Amino acid sequence: MDDRGISRRALGALAAGGAASLGLSGCDRVGSTEATVKSRQFPDDFVWGVATAAFQTEGSPEADGRGPSIWDTFEKQPGRIKDGSNADVATDSYRRYAEDVDLIAGAGLKAFRFSIAWSRVLPTGEGTVNPAGLDHYDRLVDACLAKGVTPYATLFHWDLPQALQDKGGWSARDTAKSFADYAAAVVGRLGDRLKHVITLNEPAVHTVFGHVLGEHAPGLKDIALLGPTTHHMNLGQGLAIQALRAAHDDLRIGTTLALQPCRVAGGPLAFWNRPAASGLDALWNRAWLDPLLKGAYPVLMADFLKGHLRDGDLKTIHQPIDFLGVNYYAPAYVNLDLGSASHIAPGAPPRGAELDAFGRQIDPSGLVEVLTRIRRDYGNPPVLITENGCSDPFGNGPAVLDDGFRSQYLRRHLEAVKSAMESGSRIGGYFTWTLIDNWEWDIGYTSKFGLVAMDRTTGVRRPKASYGWFKQVAETGTLPTA
Ligand code: IFM
């Protein structure tokens, strides 16, 4: 660490730790992770939905003039994807979207969060719009509306057009402007029916895993990219919100952040870990929340951002939003490591912690912590839980159809949501991740997060027990006790 916050070398050590470094701890023991609720009844207008993403589900990479994205490039590079798979078919949802919408409506869900593939709309990311690519989303939006399902479209869920990456991707300032143009093209065609738009999905994950750790596309490992990538995604979001509102004044616009409490790892010298935890919190949570909701970057980001901020940028980024999307899976724990050059090191989960298939701690209290912070420190904006869910045990085996563990995971996190609501948080909905077992980025098909299993040979979908469980919750608005 240096006196201006996390140093470039400091983040380099996180890179060395890999993915696990961002979510694990060395806490001594686990405290209670449960949230308590006064009532198990959600409001009538609470939105129940599922979330998906284009690259993880659509397949049909060459259909109707789609251009390649950075994930098409990345998945073909040897050794990048754990099981050597690609997303050429995924859940085949480009062709089977109507079946997906039927499954959503069949579960009594009233909302579908999907993402739009930028390179279907603009094959090179900019320039001439490809109407055939937009036709797909036109059909999808209409299919949702016909079934009483409200579409929520995410504009960027990590699949940047490769042609833009060739010009520097998000580390280039021009990409922010291209993103706003793309946003305008989407609502220019769909905005008469698509009223809920989410600008970015988990930009911290895309920045850190894609540009610093090299584990996601575009596969870069360069700490110098952290500042420009963060800033240009924030700037692009601000410009996109302006463009969206200029096109249609009745849109409900939000963004989706992967928020994690950055807890100080335990042990006898726990207090030493505080600066490291603050550093991670700055680049993972506050680098996105603060400029959007407060109009300023955290001081700890100053070193990274040097030379990239221009006059007026923060004003552009500080746009009013209609909701903040929160994706929550687990807390992070951080160690200070005097033995490493950076002084920052990953911990391990607390002893005795309950872990999901990712090795992430199952801790609903972390969601309460995140929601409490948004309420107390950020003016209590309206919130949607835009992702939460868990995977079957990893591997290539069949999906677990009798997935009581998933219903329990959802129930416990919904208790956290309800508990925060009872404390005053303005939470309007909950989207579980995800509908159908899909392609999980660098680990391919080895994880299964769906309420529905899919036979990858035939494409046939088969609801799991959790599908029926979630249906009952959505239809009654009542959370069972078990
Ligand atoms: O599959 C991902 C999704 O794309 C973004 N949020 C986390 C999910 C599960 O890891």
pLDDT digits (tens, 9 = 90+) for 119-145: 999 999 999 999 999 999 999 999 999
Tell me the best of 93, 387, 432, 445 to mutate to test the pocket of ligand 1, counting ligand atoms within 8 Å of each CB and taking the most. Answer: 387
User: Under CATH, which architecture does the 8-475 domain have?
Assistant: Alpha-Beta Barrel (3.20)
Determine if ligand 1 sits within 6 Å of the CB of residue 387: yes
Return the ligand 1 atom nearest residue 441 CA. 1
Give the range among 23-32, 192-201, 255-264 with minimum mean pLDDT. Answer: 23-32
Question: Which tokens sit at 411?
Answer: 């129930």
* Chain-centre distance for alpha carbon 176: 19
Look over the chain and give the mean of its residue pLDDT values, rounded to a whole number.
92
- pLDDT band for position 338 (cuts 50, 70, 90): confident
| Catalytic residue IDs | 202, 387
pLDDT, one tens digit per residue, over 140-179 is 999 999 999 999 999 999 999 999 999 999 999 999 999 9
Tell me which amino acid residue 224 is: A
Q: Is the pLDDT of residue 347 over 90?
A: no
**Could you tell me the residue ranges of all domains in the chain?**
8-475
Determine if ligand 1 sits within 6 Å of the CB of residue 470: no
Q: What is the largest CA-CA distance in the chain?
A: 61
Q: Is the pLDDT of residue 216 over 70?
A: yes
Q: Comparing C-alpha atoms, which of 207, 217, 453, 428 is closest to residue 322? A: 428
- Ligand 1 centroid to residue 62 C-alpha, Å: 24
Task: Determine which residue's CA is closest to atom 1 belonging to ligand 1.
Answer: 440
Return the ligand 1 atom nearest residue 440 CA. 1
Determine if ligand 1 sits within 6 Å of the CB of residue 159: no
Determine if ligand 1 sits within 6 Å of the CB of residue 392: no
Determine if ligand 1 sits within 6 Å of the CB of residue 327: yes
With beta carbons less than 8 A apart as the criterion, state whether 261 and 254 touch: no
Tell me which amino acid residue 103 is: L
- Ligand 1 centroid to residue 440 C-alpha, Å: 7
Q: Is the pLDDT of residue 233 over 70?
A: yes
- Ligand 1 centroid to residue 389 C-alpha, Å: 9
CB neighbourhood size of 455 (10 A): 11
CB neighbourhood size of 358 (10 A): 18
Q: Comparing C-alpha atoms, which of 341, 212, 353, 387 is closest to residue 287? A: 212
Question: Which tokens sit at 198?
Answer: 């989410």
Question: Which tokens sit at 175?
Answer: 């990409």
* pLDDT of 17: 40
| 58, 255, 416 from 249: Cα distances, Å | 30, 17, 34
Determine if ligand 1 sits within 6 Å of the CB of residue 200: no
Return the ligand 1 atom nearest residue 389 CA. 9
Give the integer Cα–Cα distance in Å for 100 and 121.
21
- Ligand 1 centroid to residue 322 C-alpha, Å: 23
- Ligand 1 centroid to residue 249 C-alpha, Å: 30
Give the integer Cα–Cα distance in Å for 403 and 413.
16
Q: Is the pLDDT of residue 26 over 50?
A: no
Tell me which amino acid residue 204 is: A
Return the ligand 1 atom nearest residue 158 CA. 4
Give the integer Cα–Cα distance in Å for 363 and 196.
30
- pLDDT band for position 288 (cuts 50, 70, 90): very high
Determine if ligand 1 sits within 6 Å of the CB of residue 53: yes
